[in-house]
Amino acid sequence: MASISKPPPIFNLNAYSLSSPRQCLPTLSFPFCITAPSRLCALKTGSNGSNSSGRVEGPEAYDQDLLRKPVVSPGKDLADIMEEQEESERKGNYEDVEQDKWVDWEDKILEDTVPLVGFVRMILHSGKYESGDRLSPEHERTILERLLPFHPAFEKKIGCGIDYITVGYHPEFERSRCLFIVQKDGKLVDFSYWKCIKGLIRKNYPLYADSFILRHFRRRRRSRY
């Protein structure tokens, strides 16, 4: 089979004009050849933006940070990261709601108890009632319905039954006025309205009672029955 051999390059010898006083020097010229367009090759880079040889070439040498991969903790995928973020948000929202709940319940307890405390103090210290006076039907009903049932020794206090409620000085503390129950058999029994208030809080607000009482009730020097 015949083969076509590539012709050797053509050399043209051109001399300067003979009229030139300088020495004529031969020059070399090559025929103009059209070459195929260069192909673009992908450059494989490492995680730090360098090529396979470890060198960073071209404009990428100034922008290595742009080629870095984001740092992700090993063993965690995107779903795990999102789940942790949602859990953190739920925990924060839960703490905010719990804080709001505590403030709301505290206000509710104060709304229920402060008027009762003011009501009893009015009876004891306003001068409306003298010692031994029977309370008005309206005031007596308020004591029997909203205060006395929450006393921790309620059944013992009412004994054989309540005849009426009155005001007097405590037998052991002469300067202290308090409420008394006159039982149907004539027996006079005093009771502490503060114990009634605390019992109301523990009954109606069991989850918040202890914290509220420690926060708002000062330790009393004496304890009444």
**pLDDT values of the chain reduced to their tens digit, one per residue, 225 residues:** 444 455 555 444 444 444 444 444 444 444 444 444 544 444 444 445 455 445 555 544 445 554 555 555 555 566 666 677 777 777 666 566 656 555 578 889 999 999 999 999 999 999 999 999 999 999 999 999 999 999 999 999 999 999 999 999 987 877 889 999 999 999 999 999 999 999 999 999 999 999 989 888 875 544 444
- Provide the pLDDT for residue 94: 59
Burial 128-155 (b: 16+ CB within 10 A, else e): ebeeeeebeeebbebbbeebbebbeeee
- Of 15, 12, 16, 7, nearest in space to 28 by CA: 12
Q: Are 168 and 178 in contact (CB under 8 A)?
A: yes
pLDDT of residue 20: 45
Neighbouring residues of 101: CB distance < 8 A, sequence distance ≥ 6: none
The full set of domains in the chain, from first to last, is 82-216 (3.10.450.40)
Record the pTM: 0.52
The distance from CA 12 to its chain's CA centroid, rounded to whole angstroms, is 89
55: which 2 tokens?
Answer: 């060198």
